[in-house]
């Protein structure tokens, strides 16, 4: 994944960086020439070079601020969209009449839906982070559930 992400990131960044590098270089070279032509004395040239540098810093700072704002705004929008999708997905699972549970690889509960909680009479807080053994499931049922859960969790699918 890392090998694939790098070209994609560079492909996003280079269209921003290259015009900036070319424009900034042309500004520095061209404005130095212009200052030398307009201001013949050393004192005037020094002052003009200083002002030119301050203008350059101001303009590039404004551009960076705009770019950073755009990036942060886009990221916040994406996070809000992801959170809304997560809530919708969780609501869908939680309102299903079927028992739905999600486990980690140590067979601890990561999620249990409302139908399951209402049937067993426990709260979500009592379930999350605990295994079926921790919750008091009888050994004969654990002998069936644990191997079945481990088999499902070994499957490569991330949507199981």
**Annotated domain spans of the chain:** 2-93, 95-154
Question: 150: pLDDT confidence band, cut at 50, 70 and 90?
Answer: very high
Q: Which residues pair with 103 in a beta bridge?
A: 109
Question: 114: pLDDT confidence band, cut at 50, 70 and 90?
Answer: very high
pTM of the model: 0.54
Tens of pLDDT, residues 22-73: 988 998 889 888 888 898 889 999 999 999 999 999 999 998 899 889 889 9
Separation of CA 138 from chain center: 42
């Amino acid at each position: 994944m890392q090998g694939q992400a790098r070209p994609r990131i560079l492909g996003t960044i280079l269209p921003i960086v290259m015009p900036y590098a070319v424009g900034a270089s042309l500004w520095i070279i061209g404005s130095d020439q212009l200052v030398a032509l307009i201001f013949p004395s050393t004192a005037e040239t020094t002052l003009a070079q200083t002002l030119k540098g301050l203008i350059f810093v101001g303009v590039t700072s404004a551009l960076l601020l705009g770019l950073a704002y755009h990036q942060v705004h886009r990221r916040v929008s994406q996070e809000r969209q992801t959170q809304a999708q997560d809530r919708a997905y969780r609501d869908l699972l939680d309102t299903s009449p079927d028992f739905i549970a999600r486990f980690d690889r140590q067979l601890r509960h990561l999620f249990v839906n409302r139908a399951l909680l209402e049937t067993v009479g426990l709260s979500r807080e009592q379930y999350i982070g605990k295994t079926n053994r921790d919750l008091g499931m009888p050994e004969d049922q654990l002998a069936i559930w644990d191997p079945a859960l481990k088999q499902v969790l070994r499957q490569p699918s991330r949507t199981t």
